[in-house]
Amino acid sequence: GQNIDQPTEMTATEGAIVQINCTYQTSGFNGLFWYQQHAGEAPTFLSYNVLDGLEEKGRFSSFLSRSKGYSYLLLKELQMKDSASYLCAVRNTGGFKTIFGAGTRLFVKA
């Protein structure tokens, strides 16, 4: 079967660093995406990994290990506006289908 697992909720403190993990088992792999979704809004793109390793983009970094079926999103210097859900998504081979995890709701406290 196909499955993506993420923690349901996490809490972190403003200014800190948080790591959100994602493990996946999918039939084929054509890249992994992280999206941010604020309550009541549409998901917006954060990062993309297709090769193993770390991709850095400002305060956000994403890591991929294809052999382990594992990715994480690292958020540095947390701000209150980072309180949102973070969605891990895998595109299958060919790229036509995308499977999303249920999302991790991150609460940033002062």
Residue 87 is a binding residue for other proteins (CB under 8 A):
yes
Task: Determine, following the binding rule CB under 8 A, whether residue 39 of this chain makes contact with other proteins.
Answer: no
> What is the C-alpha to C-alpha distance for residues 1 and 7, in angstroms, rounded to an integer?
19
Binding residue (CB under 8 A) for other proteins from 57, 98, 107, 109: 98
- Comparing CB distances to other proteins, the nearer of 48 and 70 is 48
Under rule CB under 8 A, residue 91 binds other proteins: yes
Closer of 6 and 72 to other proteins (Cβ):
6
Amino acid at 82: D
Least distance (Å) between residue 110 CB and other proteins: 27
Size of the site for other proteins (CB under 8 A): 25
Confirm or reject binding of residue 22 to other proteins (CB under 8 A). Answer: no
User: 4: which 2 tokens?
Assistant: 């993506």
13 and 80 Cβ atoms separated by less than 8 Å = no
Q: What residues line the site for other proteins (CB under 8 A)?
A: 4, 30-31, 33, 35, 41-45, 48, 50, 87, 89, 91, 94-103
